[in-house]
Amino acid sequence: MREGMWAFGREFANSEIDLIREVVRSCRGLSRNELANTVCELLDWRRANGGLKAIECRQLLETLETQSLLELPARRATKPRGARTRVRPTGWQAQAISGKLSELGTVSVERVQTTAQRELWRELIERHHYLGHRVPFGAHLRYLIGVSESSGVVVGCIQFSSAAWRLAARDRWIGWSDAQRAANLQQVICNSRVLVLPSVRVRNLASKALAVALREVAQDWPKHYGVCPALVETLVDQARFSGGCYRAANWIEVGVTTGRGRMDREHRRHGAAPKRVFVCPLHRRWREQLCGI
């Protein structure tokens, strides 16, 4: 008899997998996103704030398809999660800024909410970050870094998104079991982008912005996703960066990845791009929160 499976923090029984297969078989006219929403509603698979976990469910459906357990409808012409996207220029011009951190005034982060902010964030990341702009996996919040509240000068960008399902160095450092990780992974978030514009040359600005951003995201994440994060992780490409801004902001380096990347399900890319793993607890009882079930 086929066993159930763990995926995205939930155990799916055989009967639930059979239900998923039946929904996909009988609802051939629905898109992949519509199927994911339907399955979430039937299984009551929701975030802590009540929203459907449709992004995770679509990835589950595609995983089941790779295992030949079902056949999904053809992809429609939309951008998949993780895809690189074309970014429309806004005409925004960066300011050259140099000097001491103490001379800049207040360093702040503002959550991206308006269309203009979203377009600016995407343009800056696409133009100046080596990874460019990609559609993030799962939950995410984005911020613009600013200095001098009176003039509102934008000097960079930060993004937080869903954590990696498995990350050996992080998991060893936390010390949780597979069951604990499956139950509590939503309480870990990832700092998946950080950028200080190349025209801004101010020592310690990145570490200061990170510290401010952690305070903001610790308050914003529960409002949007109903989960209080206990730990933040990030990956630093060791061929490009030393991770100095994270160390200066009191993050802890816990190891190095194998270099596969989160989408290398067939283990073909070991050592391709190893990255340093840094973590930062958000409160004193973080381990108790993550290792409890």
262 CB burial (10 A radius; 0-12, 13-18, 19+) = middle
Q: What pLDDT shows up at residue 270?
A: 44
What region does 123 belong to: left with phi over 0, alpha with psi -120 to 50, or beta? alpha
* Distant-in-sequence, close-in-space partners of 43: CB < 8 Å, separation ≥ 6: 16, 19, 20
Q: E-assigned strands of the chain? A: 5-7, 10-12, 97-99, 107-111, 140-147, 153-162, 188-196, 200-202, 231-237, 252-256, 275-281
User: Does the domain made of 97-290 have the CATH classification 3.40.50.2300?
Assistant: no
* Distant-in-sequence, close-in-space partners of 219: CB < 8 Å, separation ≥ 6: none
Q: What pLDDT shows up at residue 33?
A: 87
Residue keyed to tokens 């995201």: 217
Using DSSP bridges, classify how beta strands 97-99 and 200-202 pair: parallel, antiparallel or unpaired: parallel
CA 143 to centroid of chain Cα atoms: 13
239, 243, 245, 250 alpha-carbon torsion, rounded to 10°: 180
Q: What pLDDT shows up at residue 272?
A: 62
Domain locations in the chain as residue ranges: 5-66, 97-290
Identity of residue 254? V
Q: What pLDDT shows up at residue 89?
A: 67
Taking only the tens place, the pLDDT of each residue in 31-84 is 888 889 889 988 989 888 788 888 889 889 988 998 889 999 888 665 555 555
Q: Which residues face 256 on adjacent strands?
A: 276
Q: Give just the sign of the alpha carbon dihedral 26, 30, 31, 37.
A: negative
Q: What pLDDT shows up at residue 269?
A: 43
Distance CA 37, CA 1 (A): 28
Distance CA 164, CA 9 (A): 12
Whether 12 contacts 31, CB under 8 Å: no
Identity of residue 208? K
CA 186 to centroid of chain Cα atoms: 11
Whether 207 contacts 166, CB under 8 Å: no
Whether 243 contacts 253, CB under 8 Å: yes
Q: Which two tokens stand for residue 123?
A: 């343009």
Q: What pLDDT shows up at residue 47?
A: 83
Residue ranges of the chain with per-residue pLDDT less than 50:
1, 150, 262-271
Whether 9 contacts 162, CB under 8 Å: no
CA 122 to centroid of chain Cα atoms: 15
CA 89 to centroid of chain Cα atoms: 24
Distance CA 95, CA 201 (A): 11
Q: What pLDDT shows up at residue 2?
A: 58
Q: What pLDDT shows up at residue 263?
A: 43
Distance CA 109, CA 154 (A): 9
What region does 141 belong to: left with phi over 0, alpha with psi -120 to 50, or beta? beta
